[in-house]
Every structure is written in structure tokens, then in C-alpha cells.
């Protein structure tokens, strides 16, 4: 299923599920966290800015959602011990994990390769590729214990179709798509586990504002307009889907 316009999730689609959302403080991550909570999930909010996460936390509670949790972490600096600490905290505090939305992203702006530094590339790879790998690996025992676990990698059109000036960001996102396909093949004998890539396309987010500052943002979809895809892949209706790259706004 690659057209989510007609998907109608049930109100309790994610009831009793625990879902970790990275980059939950703003943009798509924030909207996904609120949407997952509205459909019954207990949401774990990850991000760097605690103040932003606390605002999302309060909004979930104000809307009557299950009490969320907050795990702040700078993915650019995180290592195995940090990811293992999150997994242990999830196990101790919540007892289970049924899904991860890898949505945190880092981009420095559009510039030719000759102007991009090694330090920038290392940061781009750590946040956009290495951190999702490390966090999924650290949480794997929890995901395996779930009766139905889903991992979603938010990618980008320029990772799927690399283009000039997108440099290390596009390379990291392209590698993330490869990571998803490899992981899906390795999980083929584990029918309760699945992993997919979801590409939002152009959407009104802080990241889009950074890369396209002169664009008329009112003409772009809002993050809420894309949530059918995020619900479909996280919920039980996508049990048979794994290793796929799906597009919220149609394949470009």
C-alpha cells in the first residue's frame, strides 16, 4: 500500500502499544507523537531540547492520552552505552516496546561537496544513519518480545534520488534505506518484526524552512496531512509489509 489517502485507522489502532519517537520536539516527530498518543499508544518522546519535549508531553496529557515518557539525548554524541541505557530504562519503566519511529534528522543546509567538511559529514552520518542503527540494535530484545513490532525510518526524497548540493545528508539517507532493506531481510524469519522506510516529501517543517528559506510555505502540506502513512506502518494493518520504501505523497 503506497497511497494512504483512503486509509482510515481505527481510533484505538495503537492501544496498549509503547512507541518510541525520535525527534519528537517539533515537525513531523511532534505530530506523529501526538497522533500515536491520540490512537491509544504510550509514547516515548526523544529529542535534544527538553523544553520542547515537555510541551509535547503536556499536550498529550491535556488531550487525554496515556502518560508519555521523556528521554532526552543528543544523537550526534551518543554511543552504545547511551542507547543501551535508553533500552534498559524503557524495560524498567514501561516493560515493553512495540515500535520505533526514527524521525530525528540533521542537515546543515545546501552547499557543494567541496564546501562540506569532514566534521559535518561525521555529524550527518551519526544522526541520520548510525544512531537509528544503534538504537534499534539496543532495543532489539524488547522489539522481539512484542507480539507485533514495527520500525519506521523517516527518509527524504533526496536520499532516494540523490541530487547536487544535498551532500552528506543525501548519502546518509540513501544508506539508511539500504539499512532498512538489509534489516528486513535479516528479520524474514521473525514474522512479528518489520521495518520500512517512509518518505514524507515536501512538507512544512523546520527542516524544510532551513533548506528552502525562500519557499512559500503556505502551499506545502502540514505534518498532520501525512499521518495516515505513519499510522498505517506503525499499526497492525501493515503486518505483511517489510523492507519497503513508501511515499506519503506518491512516488516522485
In this prediction, residue 203 has a pLDDT band, given cuts at 50, 70 and 90, of low
Confidence at 7, pLDDT banded by 50, 70, 90: confident
Which CATH architecture describes the domain 18-247?
3-Layer(aba) Sandwich (3.40)
Closest Cα to residue 136, out of 99, 173, 181, 94? 99
Q: Is 85 helix (H, G, I), strand (E, B) or coil?
A: helix
In whole angstroms, what separates CA 133 from the centre of its chain?
12
pTM for this entry: 0.92
How far is Cα 91 from Cα 30, in angstroms, rounded to an integer? 23
- Kindly tell me the burial class for residue 252, based on how many C-beta atoms sit within 10 Å of its own C-beta (0-12, 13-18, 19 or more): exposed
CA-to-CA separations, 214 to 112, 127, 218, in angstroms, rounded: 19, 26, 12
Q: pLDDT value at position 223?
A: 79
Tell me the three state secondary structure of residue 22.
coil
pLDDT for the residue numbered 244:
95
Q: What is the pLDDT of residues 88-111, one digit of tens each?
A: 999 999 999 999 999 999 998 889
Residue 211 pLDDT greater than 90, yes or no: no
Residue 147 CB burial class (10 angstroms; 0-12, 13-18, ≥19)? exposed
Name every residue whose Cβ is closer than 8 Å to that of residue 208 and which is 6 or more positions away in sequence.
202, 215, 217, 220
157-179 mean pLDDT: 92
Between CA 237 and CA 82 the distance in angstroms is 32
Amino acid at each position: 500500500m503506497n497511497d494512504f489517502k483512503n486509509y482510515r485507522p481505527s481510533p484505538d489502532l495503537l492501544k496498549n502499544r509503547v512507541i518510541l519517537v525520535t525527534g519528537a520536539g517539533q515537525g513531523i516527530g511532534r505530530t506523529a507523537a501526538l497522533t500515536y498518543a491520540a490512537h491509544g499508544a504510550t509514547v516515548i518522546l526523544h529529542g535534544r531540547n527538553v523544553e520542547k519535549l515537555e510541551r509535547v508531553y503536556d499536550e498529550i496529557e491535556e488531550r487525554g492520552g496515556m502518560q508519555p515518557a521523556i528521554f532526552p539525548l543528543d544523537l550526534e554524541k551518543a554511543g552504545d552505552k547511551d542507547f543501551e541505557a535508553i533500552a534498559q530504562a524503557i524495560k524498567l519503566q514501561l516493560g515493553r516496546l512495540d515500535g520505533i519511529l526514527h524521525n530525528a534528522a540533521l542537515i546543515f543546509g545546501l552547499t557543494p561537496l567541496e564546501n562540506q567538511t569532514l566534521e559535518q559529514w561525521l555529524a550527518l552520518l551519526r544522526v541520520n544513519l548510525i544512531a537509528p542503527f544503534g538504537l534499534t540494535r539496543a532495543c532489539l530484545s524488547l522489539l522481539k518480545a512484542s507480539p507485533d513490532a514495527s520500525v519506521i525510518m523517516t527518509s527524504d526524497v533526496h536520499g532516494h534520488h540523490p541530487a547536487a548540493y544535498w551532500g552528506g545528508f543525501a548519502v546518509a539517507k540513501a544508506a539508511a534505506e539500504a539499512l532498512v532493506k538489509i534489516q528486513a531481510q535479516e528479520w524474514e524469519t521473525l514474522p512479528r518484526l518489520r521495518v520500512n522506510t517512509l518518505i514524507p516529501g515536501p512538507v512544512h517543517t523546520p527542516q524544510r524552512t532551513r533548506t528552502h528559506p525562500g519557499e512559500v510555505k503556505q502551499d506545502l502540506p502540514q505534518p498532520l496531512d501525512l499521518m495516515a502513512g505513519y499510522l498505517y506502518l506503525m499499526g497492525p494493518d501493515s503486518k505483511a509489509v517489510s523492507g519497503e520504501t513508501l511515499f506519503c505523497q506518491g512516488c516522485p
